């Protein structure tokens, strides 16, 4: 399921970004994709060797006026930047939604939860009726987007 893959990549990227990996220079973090346990869930090793190196997590020069801790998503180039400050950011390769479902603008994360229940919006259920079984929410776990 493409949505699942995107969600896993995004979640891993965000959780890794927030954990704070700061090193000066353009450093690849290629060796940091092994199996891990998070809140009791066993996450499998990511076969990073199948991912082009430009999409591996790495620290890059990134000039922005945004404050450290800001997350910038570049959907066109499929990158997420976690701003560190002093002209640096951690860059992640990401998956993006299907054409026609793009979002742009600025948003503030108002609520954050570990391993939340996922509920597809009614518009999504209309497009994908097979998701109706999750109208009341999908329990946390590895299959949860």
91 and 121 housed in the same domain:
no
User: What is the rounded radius of gyration, in angstroms, for the C-alpha atoms of the chain?
Assistant: 16
The DSSP H or E segment spanning 58 is: strand 58-61
What does pLDDT average to in each consecutive run of 10 residues of the chain (145 residues)? 45 43 57 89 92 93 95 93 96 86 82 91 94 95 87
Can you give the pLDDT at residue 60?
A: 96
74 and 133 housed in the same domain:
no
56 and 83 housed in the same domain:
yes
Can you give the pLDDT at residue 121?
A: 92
Write down the pTM of the prediction: 0.70
72 and 20 housed in the same domain:
yes
12 and 70 housed in the same domain:
yes
Number of structural domains in the chain: 2
Nearest to 12 by CA among 96, 94, 73, 98: 94
26 and 13 housed in the same domain:
yes
Can you give the pLDDT at residue 21?
A: 39
126 and 83 housed in the same domain:
no
**Strand order across the 79-85 sheet:** 58-61, 88-93, 79-85, 71-74
Can you give the pLDDT at residue 26?
A: 59
Nearest to 65 by CA among 80, 87, 81: 87
- For 138, the domain range is 113-145
24 and 45 housed in the same domain:
yes
Can you give the pLDDT at residue 2?
A: 45
Instruction: Name residues whose C-beta falls within 8 Å of residue 56's C-beta, 6 or more positions apart in sequence.
Output: 28, 29, 30, 48, 93
């Amino acid at each position: 399921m493409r949505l699942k893959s995107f969600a896993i990549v995004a979640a891993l990227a965000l959780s890794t970004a927030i954990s704070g990996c700061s090193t000066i220079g353009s450093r690849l973090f290629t060796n940091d994709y092994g199996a891990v346990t998070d809140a009791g869930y066993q996450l499998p090793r990511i076969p990073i060797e199948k991912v082009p190196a430009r999409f591996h997590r790495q620290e890059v020069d990134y000039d922005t006026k945004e404050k450290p801790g800001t997350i910038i998503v570049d959907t066109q180039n499929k990158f997420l930047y976690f701003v560190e400050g002093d002209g640096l950011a951690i860059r992640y390769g990401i998956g993006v939604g299907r054409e026609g479902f793009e979002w742009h603008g600025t948003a503030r994360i108002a609520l954050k939860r570990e391993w939340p229940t996922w509920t597809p919006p009614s518009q999504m259920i209309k497009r994908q009726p097979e998701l109706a079984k999750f109208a009341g929410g999908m329990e946390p776990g590895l299959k949860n987007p």
